[in-house]
Every structure is written in C-alpha cells, then in structure tokens.
Amino acid sequence: MFAISVMNGLVIGVIYALAALGVSLVVGIMNVVNFAHGELYILAGYFSYLFASALGLNFLVAMLLALALVFLLGIVIEYTLIRPTYGNDMYSLILTFILSIVLQNAYLLIFGPYPNKPPLWVKGATDVFGLFSYGNQRLAALIAGAGVIAVTFFLIKKTWFGRIIRATSQDREMAELNGVDTTRLNMLSFGLGCALAAAAGVILTPVFPVTPTAGVPVALTAFVVVVLGGMGSMWGCVVGGLLLGLVENLGAAFISTGYKNVFGFIILILVLLVRPSGLFGRTKI
C-alpha cells in the first residue's frame, strides 16, 4: 500500500511538475497567470484522442500533432487576448479565466460530458522490485514526463534561447536594451507554456481519461506547485510537483480519498503562512 502510493505519487508528481513548469515560465517572464492552463492540458488530450482513436494515426504522431496545435493556439491566445493587456495584470487574469470557462463549455458541446481516452502506448504490467506489479502505461508516463522535463531544463539552462528567457525574467528593460525583442519572446514563451500543459495532457490522458472539466484540478494543483516552489523557479516546480503528488496519494491512501485535492490547499495555506515566497523563491517582495 505504501510503496504503490509512493509510485502513484511519483507518476502524478512528474505530471504536476510538467504542468507547473508551463505556468511558472509564463509567470516568470510575463507576470501573467494563465487560468486556462488546465483547459489547454485537456485540449491536448482531446486532440490526441481524436487523431489516434478517430483518425487512426500512430499514437506518437497524434501526440506530436496535438502538442504542435496547442503551441500554435497558445501563440494565437497571446497575440489576440494577452498582448493588449500588457501592464494591466488584472485584465489578463480575468481574460484567461473567461477563456477557461468558454473552453470548458465548448468541450462539453463538442465532446459531451463522457470521459474520452486515447489508446494506451504500451500494454501489460511490470514487476517493480518485487514489491508490486505496476501498469506499463504509467511507467511509460513517468519516463516520458521526466524526459520532457529534462528537455525543458536543457532548453532553458543551456541554450541561447534559454539565456534570453532567463535574462528577460530577471530584468526586462535590461534585456530590451541588449536587443531582445521581448514582445516576440512573450508570444513564444506563452506558446511554450501552453505546449508544456499539452505535454502533460498527452502523457497523462491514456491513464486518466479527459472530461470537459478534468483540467480544473490539474491546473489548480499546478498553481499550488508554483506558489510552493516559488514563482518563477524551475527547480521549485520539480520539487513542489513531486512533493504534492506524494502528499496527495499518501493522504488519499491513509486519510481519505474524497479529500485528495484538499491536501494541496492545506499546503498552499501553510506556505503562505510560513514562507510566502515559496521553497526556492527570491525573497525580494
């Protein structure tokens, strides 16, 4: 029971970390919280379901296609909705919240309230250290999630593009003075943030099917992870995501399943009380 809860916690924790990275990237650069993050996560799930199950494409092709489409949608959202609100953070909060409700209701209209599920990548189960046998799909999700996180870290920490991103999130004006086109960077990083939500979506939906509102708890947890890890901190997302995944699953196993999502809220309150800037946050505010 304990071992399997830890395993479940790791799998979902990696997905939380992935979703939180997307939120954190956008917050770090644009100071915008995208409240439609969970709906984009779900959209990627719907896309991969459509392409793989309805059109019969290979699951990998379907996933990449879903990722690319959500990335493009992210760019369109930034261009049409977010860009006019620069300098007024309140409007971006309101706009993305309205967008999330619009998307939820559009999904309900198009796909109905029933859960939809893209096909599994792999079948069967593996014996984990002789402790329990664990579904291969979940193991694959764990590996894929960790892989995408590694790629994101590489992109941000090691490449030229990543250097621009880090420079802009540290000091926007200084980056502009050095020739960074921050408007285009905003657009790209917003798209990238959405793509990270989509990555979490395509990886997790074969395990947890999509419904029109299934994105809400995931996005909410991602927000809690971002606050817990410290706004804009990448390591904070990873540590916070894993921590929250473990706490939720152990809490669900040993305290109460119905209150699974409440533990995250308790953590949020504790963080705000004890260390409001988060685990890895800069304590400048």
Q: What does the binding site for another protein look like in residue numbers (CB under 8 A)? A: 27, 31, 33, 35, 80-81, 84, 89-91, 93-95, 97-99, 101-102, 105-106, 109, 216-217, 220, 223-224, 227, 231, 256, 258-259, 261-262, 264-265, 268-269, 272-273, 276-277, 285
Q: Residue 284 CB, nearest distance to another protein (Å)?
A: 12
Gyration radius of the chain over CA positions: 18
Q: Which of 104/137 has CB closer to another protein?
A: 104
Q: How far is the CB of 258 from another protein (least distance, A)?
A: 4
For another protein, which is the closer residue by CB, 222 or 238? Answer: 222
What whole-number distance in Å separates Cα of residue 164 and Cα of residue 166? 5
Decide whether 57 or 75 has the Cβ nearer to another protein. 75
Q: Which is nearer to another protein, 13 or 230 (CB)?
A: 230
The residues, any chain, with a CB within 8 Å of residue 56's CB and separated by 6 or more, are none
Nearer to another protein, 55 or 270 (CB): 270
| The two structure tokens encoding residue 214 | 């299934």
Task: Report, in Å, the least distance between residue 169 CB and another protein.
Answer: 15
The burial of 141, by beta-carbon neighbours within 10 Å (0-12 exposed, 13-18 middle, 19 or more buried), is given as: buried
Taking the complex as a whole, how short is the minimal distance between the CB of residue 269 and another protein, in angstroms?
7
Report the nearest approach of another protein to the CB of residue 33 (Å).
5
116: which DSSP letter? B
Compute the distance between CA of residue 190 and CA of residue 271 in angstroms, rounded to an integer: 27
Contact between residue 237 and residue 226 where contact means Cβ atoms under 8 Å apart: yes
Cα of 151 vs its chain's centroid, Å: 15
CB closer to another protein, 148 vs 243: 243
Residue 276: CB minimum distance to another protein, A: 5
Alpha helix locations (H) across the chain?
2-30, 37-49, 59-77, 89-111, 136-158, 160-170, 172-177, 182-204, 215-229, 234-254, 262-274
